[in-house]
Structure 1
Amino acid sequence: MTDSALIGWLIGLAVVPPLIISLISLYPVRRFASQLGLIANPGGHSTHTNVTPLGGGIGIWLGIILPMIGGTLIVCGIDLGFHQSLGLPDSVTVFFSGIRSRLGQLWCLLGAGTVLFALGIWDDRRGAPVGLRLLIEFGVAAFVVYVMGFGLTAFIGAPALTNLLSVIWIVAVINSFNMLDNMDGLSGGVAAIIAASMAAVMLTTPGSGGSLPQLFVAGLLLCVCGSLLGFLWHNRPPAKLFMGDGGSYLVGFLIAVSMLMATFASEPRPHAVLAPICAMLIPMYDMGTVLWIRIREGRSVFKGDRSHFSHRLVALGLSRTQAVLTIHLVTATCGLASLLLVHVTVLQAIAVLGIVGCMLLLVVILESTGWRKQSGE
């Protein structure tokens, strides 16, 4: 089997089942959201005008967990010939032994993600205290870094520093997607684009000490992407369902940890370590600017408002749909840049990063009018 055929099998197996499960499971969630206490009422800092279910995270979680359970059963049952009924060729099943060796890591990771998903559902239903939310987020992140051993290297010979940065990275990514969830199709779309672009990086970049693409991490990211695509069917404008904290915590966590599990930089291309930062540029830009605005105005950084990137674009005269599509386009551009970074020379990488920097500067200039308006200047 050619590499392209193998990648085609991986994409099909990792994307389609999560998409179908997420899409179908969210219909009953929409119907029974009121009984579950998962309802978002209009008003406050929110821009929506209708009472809307909040349980999108349930479908996203099911879309990830159920295929993983099925995949685990198939991989563990390979000696019994389970794969034959699925028509999987030997060139695919040859990787099953390697997958089996990492199932412990996978389920520890999914268990940690489930803790955050449950935290988010609790927050959606009753409103969890900010301090407790952050404590659990940092606790889960510390478990991943210090117990499971996933963390940044970035060519820094100081494990204590890189471990601390890894914990901060996980918590920052979780909250960046949570804060970005403020318009129909926004956070889910951005997360799907980032997951797809980073999966493309994994499928075109060999892991440490080998020539094969990083199929394990790519498969996880594609599963997240597929589940998000199923959710976006319900979240497209006008949204019939919101992601909620349960979904944003889970998605942010899995994307953040996937980037820590991956191998980006090699000896001739140390700049490739910047690929995750490049892919995450827009969620981090939104979170950073919102926090800066709130601090500058003397308001609590934990209290929601309408100073987000999307709101500032609307203040410029864009419709909500246009603002969301603009952010999707900029995110896709950053994703393509991250894919280039892992394959080009240092000088070419400087050019790629220069293009991304110019694009971001252009965004700042174009939306600064709305920014000042939101800040009352």
Structure 2
Amino acid sequence: MKHPSLEYLLVACVAAIVTYLLTPLARRVAIRWRAVAKPRNRDVHAVATPRMGGVALFGGFALALFVASRLPTLHESFQSGTVVMMWVVIAAAVICAVGVLDDRYELDSLTKLAGQVLATGLMVTLGGVQIAEVGVPWSDTTLVLGRDLGVPVTILFTVLTINALNFVDGLDGLAAGITAIAAGGFFVYSYHLGRAGFADIVSPATLLAAVLAGACLGFLPHNFFPARIFMGDSGSMVLGLLLSAASTTATTSTDPQVYRDGLSSLPIFLPELVLVAVLALPFIDLLLAVVRRVSRGRSPFAPDKRHLHHRLLEMGHTHRRAVLLMYFWSGLVAFGGVGVSISDSGWLVVSVLVVLAASAVLALAVPALRRRRIQRTRRRVARAMDAESARPGSVHAQGPR
């Protein structure tokens, strides 16, 4: 069988184009329906901006899957996983509907959580999208979770992923870009496994990742700073659910003990920890937010202005630079983890990652270094002026005539 790389590229382009074309329509509907995000104290945007971009994202995703089901090779993904694909789409539609209601009426946290659990439960219990086994690092042991444990674990992981994407959606283009990077990482990982013969190259995981990345890229031109539309909860929750579906099916499509030589003894070589590497940034932000709020006696869902992207702005980075830095860190962790796991030269990849990480830290510190340089210059100028004024015979020392 030929490698269907061109078909994956085609469906990704379909998802991008359809999402791009549907987004202005979603914007007009959001304005007419008054689903608009008005500026609040914790928000970064200064003008009212329509939400409901998730409707366009879902439309592009669904239509791209329909096109894939008609292609010569990718239709095999539906033959091997028809039930999986059907319930993933249904679950995405349910959670998108909940998100649309929240974009318009701002639902309370418990109602949104109930909608997340409902949609995830449909996908996991009826669609069979669940974590079935987990490999133990540095051993040949594989823990089989079984349905009784696999179902709640997968639901919990999916709900965490949904809220991680929701929490990180605080700057224009941030959530869509990070999701595109994460989906791209999963696509590279699962496609490599297919070419190496460890998994089906037209598996649902690979197709979901390709379509998800395409939809996010089609939405970004409308959402990047300055954004003309926000994805809203209708978008962030859909992206979180689909990203979890792609990662879960990717990690269960192969034996987790595939890599066991050299650097492959590191935990990052295991599929479960590759997905943790891809989702590291949103999960770190989620964990810090929960700890910060609970320690202050507040609800974990209570919004604030102390997310990672907010802190980048406080450090002096512009809106665009803060988003690009978050993209860089996400790509570094995601593709770094995937690169180490599939590369024959693991130590070379690690060395490159260390250099890139050092460069990112330097870029992160640029505004602080610039402020310190300006402050030192001002202090030198002030001292020079003080010395000049204290000199006998100087104009400042003589005073006004």
What TM-score do the two structures reach when normalised by structure 2? 0.78
Partner Cα distance (1:190, 1:98) in 2: 26
Among 184, 188, 192, the alignment partner of 1:196 is: 184
Structure 2 counterpart SS, 1:182: coil
Kept in 2, the 8 Å contact 1:16–1:226? The answer is yes
- Equivalent-residue separation in structure 2 for 1:314 and 1:245 (angstroms): 23
How has the CA–CA distance of structure 1 residues 8 and 169 changed in structure 2, closer, same or farther, with 3 Å as cutoff?
Answer: same
Question: 5 Å matches for 1:1-377?
Answer: 3=3, 6-11=4-9, 13-72=10-69, 74=70, 93-94=72-73, 96-97=75-76, 99-152=78-131, 153-155=133-135, 156-159=143-146, 160-206=148-194, 212-262=200-250, 263=253, 265-269=256-260, 271-273=269-271, 274-343=273-342
Contact 2:184-2:209 within 8 A present in 1 as well: yes
Relative to structure 1, is the Cα distance of residues 335 and 347 closer, same or farther in structure 2, using a 3 angstrom cutoff? closer
In the alignment, the residues of structure 2 paired with residue 35 and residue 129 of structure 1 have an alpha-carbon distance, to the nearest angstrom, of 23
Matched position secondary structure for 2:130: coil
Q: Report the AA paired with residue 87 of structure 2.
A: C
RCO greater where, 1 or 2, for CA within 8 Å and sep 6 or more?
Answer: 1
Is the CA contact 2:189–2:342 (under 8 Å) kept in the aligned structure 1? no
Which string of whole-angstrom CA distances, capped at 9 and with x for unpartnered residues, describes residues 249-284 of structure 1? 111100101111113523434732210000000010
SS of aligned partner of 1:154 = strand
Describe the superposition over 1:52-102 as per-residue Cα deviations: whole angstroms up to 9, x where unpaired: 110211110111112223443x35xxxxxxxxxxxxxxxxx2553453342
In 1, distance between residues paired with 2:121 and 2:212? 22
Report deviation, 1:165. 2.2
Structure 2 SS opposite 1:204? helix
Question: Measured at CA, do residues 254 and 59 of structure 1 come closer, stay the same or move farther in structure 2, by a change above 3 Å?
Answer: same
Distance 2:155 2:34 in 1: 32
CA contact (8 A) 1:14 1:220 kept: no
Any gaps of 5 or more consecutive residues in structure 2? 136-142, 261-266, 369-401
Q: CA deviation at 1:212?
A: 4.4
**How many Å separate the matches in 2 of 1:350 and 1:28?**
44
**Structure 2 residue identity aligned to 1:117:** C
Give 1:351 deviation, angstroms.
5.6
| Contact 1:275/1:341 (8 A) holds in 2 | no
Give me the whole-angstrom Cα distance separating, in 1, the residues matched to 2:346 and 2:279.
Answer: 22
Question: What CA deviation, in whole Å up to 9, does each residue of 1:221-262 have, x standing for no partner?
Answer: 111111111111101111111010001111110010111111
Contact persistence 2:289–2:307 (CA under 8 A): yes
Letter in 2 for 1:282: L
**Is the Cα–Cα contact under 8 Å of residues 33 and 55 in structure 1 kept in the other structure?**
yes
Counterpart amino acid of residue 334 in structure 1? V
Identity of aligned pairs, percent? 23
Q: CA deviation at 1:349?
A: 11
Q: CA distance change for structure 1 residues 16 and 345 in 2, over 3 Å: closer, same or farther?
A: closer
Q: Deviations over 1:322-353 (max 9, x none)?
A: 1111000000011212322432589859968x
Closer, same or farther: CA 268–191 of 1 in aligned 2, 3 Å: closer
Aligned length: 346
Q: Is the 8 A contact 1:205 1:214 kept in 2?
A: no
Structure 1 residues 286 and 218: alpha-carbon distance in aligned structure 2, compared to 1, 3 A threshold: same
The higher radius of gyration belongs to: 2
Tell me the TM-score normalised to structure 1 length. Answer: 0.82
Question: How far apart in 2 are the matches of 1:339 and 1:98?
Answer: 23
Higher deviation after alignment, 340-349 or 285-294: 340-349
Query: Which amino acid is the alignment partner of residue 268 of structure 1?
Result: Y
The change in CA–CA distance for 1:207 and 1:104 in structure 2 (over 3 A counts) is: farther
Deviations 1:106-145 (A, max 9, x none): 1111001110000001011002221122122123323333
Aligned-partner Cα distance in 1 for 2:76–2:314: 54
